[in-house]
């Protein structure tokens, strides 16, 4: 069983990694052909992208191997033959579930230790290529503290438009003033060397000047805030949250919490990384009984099942993250919902196969 799974896993991992890499090769080729970037730098950039691709394709390759193997065994009645010989279904699937746990540990190591450093190195390399623009000072997914007296966090930034923005105005003898905006626009004034944020649907808890221990709600449909761009750019770029390992994130979380800065983005990143690391094992628990139940020998049917399972899982993870961002549930609950649901459904399907 392990030999068959490892063979299928190796093949599917190579196939899916190649598919994802090809898309990046096309983009990187444009840097060489049209932008005349040094091919050596482009090759380095390509190598930095590989850990991200592998961390993403290991869960897909794992569930593909399980679906193809157990679908074929079930279609050929080999599962029934083994069970008729006195081997329980748990005994049959235990070795491959143990392998999926090992793959989960490997996924965690890649996503927590290798991918963050590779992603940061790739962005630094892009900056060295001269791609950096004034807008790059606002890195989504990182705490931006290059503007004196302010700390900014942006969840999403596309072109000049932001979504879910938090701005912390630091004050010496008072808690920081927190501005929360649903969306906004970035306006770059290169002539005056300024960066202006146009925030929409802004909410803030303001301190009552007459009663410092009391707060009142400040609401504004449109709010402008202007920053001076740093005059000297040394080429250094701040790390995003996803470019730190979990140990570093916990240290950052402690420091920001002591300063009264909201740590929700850090909690989301930590729990998302941990939950996603278990994807190979979680998807295997769900896919194995489903494959036995469908009992198909055709590869095309197996690939369809794989596409359906992984698509539902990744969209569930995105939905869980959105729930955390909107404050409906804390990250340590919402980010684990997809894993828990897939495991519960998987064990229910397994119990019906016994």
**CA–CA dist 223, 202 (Å, integer):** 7
- Distance between first and last Cα of the chain: 19
Helix (H, G, I), strand (E, B) or coil at 167: strand
Tokens of 9: 């896993």
User: Mean pLDDT across the chain, nearest whole number?
Assistant: 84
Angstrom distance (rounded) from CA 335 to CA 323: 9
Write out the two tokens for 74: 């079930």
Q: Are 167 and 225 in contact (CB under 8 A)?
A: yes
Share above pLDDT 90 across residues of the chain, in percent, rounded to a whole number: 35
Q: Give me the residues paired with residue 217 across strands.
A: 205
Two structure tokens written together for 258: 């002591």
The reported pLDDT for the residue numbered 98 is: 93
Residue-wise pLDDT for 171-193, tens only, equals 777 778 888 999 999 888 877 77
The residues of the chain scoring below 50 in pLDDT are 130-132, 234-235
Structure tokens at 120: 């940061």
pLDDT digits (tens, 9 = 90+) for 90-115: 888 899 999 999 999 999 999 999 99
> Strand pairing partners for 162?
157, 184
- Distance between CA atoms of 243 and 140, rounded to whole angstroms? 12
User: Model confidence over 318-333: pLDDT tens digits?
Assistant: 999 999 988 899 999 9
Q: What pLDDT shows up at residue 132?
A: 46
Give residue 44's pLDDT. 83
CA of residue 279 relative to chain centroid, distance:
12
The domain ranges of the chain are: 2-129+269-353, 141-234
| C-alpha to C-alpha distance for 338 and 342, rounded to whole angstroms | 6
pTM value is 0.75
pLDDT on residue 36 = 63
Q: What angle do CA 260, 261, 263 make, to 5 degrees?
A: 120
């Amino acid at each position: 069983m392990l030999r068959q799974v490892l063979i299928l896993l190796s093949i599917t991992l190579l196939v899916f990694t190649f598919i994802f890499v090809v898309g990046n090769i096309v983009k990187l080729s444009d840097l060489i052909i049209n932008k005349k970037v040094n091919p050596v730098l482009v090759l380095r950039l390509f190598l930095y992208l590989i850990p991200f691709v592998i961390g993403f394709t290991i869960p897909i390759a794992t569930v593909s191997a399980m679906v193809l193997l157990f679908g074929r065994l079930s279609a050929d009645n080999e599962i029934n033959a083994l069970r008729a010989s006195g081997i329980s279904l748990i005994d049959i699937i235990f070795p491959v579930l143990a392998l999926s746990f090992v793959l989960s540990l490997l996924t965690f190591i890649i996503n927590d230790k290798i991918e963050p450093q590779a992603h940061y190195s790739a962005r630094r390399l892009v900056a060295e290529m001269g791609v950096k623009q004034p807008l790059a000072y606002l890195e989504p997914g990182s705490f931006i503290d290059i503007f004196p007296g302010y700390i900014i966090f942006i969840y999403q930034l596309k072109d000049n438009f932001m979504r879910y923005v938090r701005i912390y105005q630091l004050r010496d003898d008072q808690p920081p003033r927190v501005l929360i905006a649903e969306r906004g626009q970035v306006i770059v004034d290169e002539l005056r060397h300024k960066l202006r944020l146009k925030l929409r649907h802004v909410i803030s808890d303001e301190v009552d000047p007459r009663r410092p221990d009391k707060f009142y709600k400040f609401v504004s449909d449109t709010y402008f805030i202007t920053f001076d761009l740093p005059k000297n750019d040394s080429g250094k770029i701040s790390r995003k949250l996803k470019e730190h390992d979990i140990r570093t994130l916990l240290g950052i979380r402690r420091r920001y919490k002591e300063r009264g800065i909201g740590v929700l983005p850090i909690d989301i990143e930590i729990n998302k990384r941990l939950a996603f690391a278990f994807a190979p094992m979680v998807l295997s628990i769900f896919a194995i009984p489903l494959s036995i139940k469908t009992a198909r020998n055709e590869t095309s049917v197996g690939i369809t099942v794989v596409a359906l399972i992984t698509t539902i899982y990744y969209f569930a993870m995105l939905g869980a993250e959105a729930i955390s961002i909107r404050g409906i549930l804390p990250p340590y609950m919402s980010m684990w919902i997809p894993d828990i649901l897939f495991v519960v459904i998987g064990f229910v399907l397994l119990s019906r196969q016994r």
